Amino acid sequence: MGAIAARFVIAVVFLPKVYDKGLTIYEVMAQDFGLPSGQRAVGMFYSMSKIVSVGVRLFSGSIMLATFTNTSITTALVAVTLMTLVYIQLGGLKAVARTDMFQMSLFIIGGTLAHFLIPDVANSTWGEMMSVAQAAGKTTILNFSNPWPFVFGIMGGFLFDMSTHGVDQDFAQRLTANKTLKSGQMAIFFSSFLSISVGLLFLGVGALLWVFYQSHPLPPNLPGSDYLFPHFIVNYFPVGMRGIMVAGVLAATMSVLDSTINALCATMYNDIAPNRDKKKTEMWGLIDSIVLGFSILGIAILASKFDGLLLLGLKAQSWTGGSLLALFMSKVILKKFFHYRLDLVSVIGAYVIGMSGVYLNTRVLAWDWNLNVYWGFILSMVYLKILTQIQRKPSSY
C-alpha cells in the first residue's frame, strides 16, 4: 500500500522533473548549482550501495541453479554472471528491457505452477493447505493485537520505494527510456500492482512449503533455509516442471543483474568518469561491464560464505537510500528552498549524517529497520538546509 502511494508520487512529481533532462538522474541533480565533483560523489555512493545489495540478490537467486545442477554455489554464480554479461554487450538497454519481459513471464509461470504442484506432492488440496497456514497465522496481513508490523510496512513501503524506484538509476532509466512521459508515468504506477501480485504469489508458495514441512522431515544437511525451496523443486517436482522453475528463478536473477550493470555503466560513463575518450566509448563500456559485473560477483561469493549477510545485504539500500532521496528532493523537487552547492562537502556530509541517523535508529533506539530511510532522509534534509543558510546564492545563479 505504501508502494502504491510512493509510485503515484514518482509518476506525478518526480518523473516530469527528470524525463528527457539528462542521461542519468544524477546529471539532473547537478544541473542546478552543481559541481562535477558533487555529481561524481553521488554516482560513486550510489554505485557502491547498489553493488552490495545486488551482489546479495545474485547469491540468493543462484542457489536454485547450484542445487539443480549439483554444483558449487561459486560455479553457479560465475555462470550466471558470465551469461548476463554476454547478452548485455549484444544489446545494451534495449536487450535488458526485452529480456526482462520474457524473464518476468517465466518467473510468474514458475510461481503459479508451484501453487499447483506443492499440494499435489503433499496429497492435499490448495485450500486445505492454505487453511492450515491461515490457522497458524502465516497469512495474516494485519494483526490488531500488534499492528506495528503493518504500520511499519506501509511507512517503509512509501519512503523506501521512493528511494529505490524514484532516485535509483536502475529503475529511473527504465522510466526515462519510455517513448513518452505519459507512458513512463503509467508504467511506474501500474507496476506497483504487479509487484504486489508477484509478492503475494511467492508468499503463498512460502505458506504452502511451511505446511508441507509440518508433516514431512526437513532435508538433512541443508545449508540454510534459503536452500529449502530449491531442494523441494529438485526432489519433488516432475522433470519438466523442474526445468521451468529453475528457468524462472534464473531469469529473475539475471533480470536484476543485467539492469543493474547497465545502470552502473551509465553512471560510470556519465557521472563518475565523464572525461574519458569518447572515441573509445565501446571499449570503456566493455571494461566497465566486466569490472562492475565481477565486483557484484565478488559480493555474491562473500555473501555465500557467511551467515546473516543475505538479510544484511537486502537492507543495504536502506542505509543510504534516505540520503540519496534527500539530495534529489533538495536539488530537483524543492530546489527553490535549497541553494547549496552540490559538491563533495554537501554529498559526503549528507551521507555521513544520514547513515548516522540509520545507526541511531538500529543500534541506539533499536527501532524497525524500515525507518532507516526516514532517519536518513530527515537528518540529511536538515543538514542540507543548514548548508543552504551557510552558503550564499551566487549572483549568476
- Does 215 map to a domain? yes
- Does 340 map to a domain? no
Contact 94, 171 (CB under 8 A): no
CA–CA gap between residue 45 and residue 34 (Å, rounded): 16
DSSP 57-125: HHHHHHHHHHHHHT--HHHHHHHHHHHHHHHHHHHHHHHHHHHHHHHHHHHHHHHHHHHHHHHHHTTS-
pLDDT at 353: 97
- Does 163 map to a domain? yes
CA–CA gap between residue 213 and residue 234 (Å, rounded): 16
Give the closest residue to 358 by CA, choosing from 378, 373, 343.
Answer: 373
pLDDT at 395: 46
CA–CA gap between residue 269 and residue 173 (Å, rounded): 14
Per-residue pLDDT tens digits for 56-111: 889 888 888 888 888 999 999 999 999 888 878 777 677 777 777 887 888 888 88
Q: Which three cell numbers stand for residue 363?
A: 543500534
- Does 342 map to a domain? no
CATH number, domain at 39? Answer: 1.20.1730.10
- Does 77 map to a domain? yes
CA–CA gap between residue 119 and residue 129 (Å, rounded): 7
pTM assigned to the model: 0.86
- Does 309 map to a domain? yes
- Does 265 map to a domain? yes
Q: In the chain, which stretches have pLDDT less than 50?
A: 395-397
- Does 130 map to a domain? yes
- Supply the range of the domain harboring residue 272: 2-318
In the chain, the number of structural domains is 1
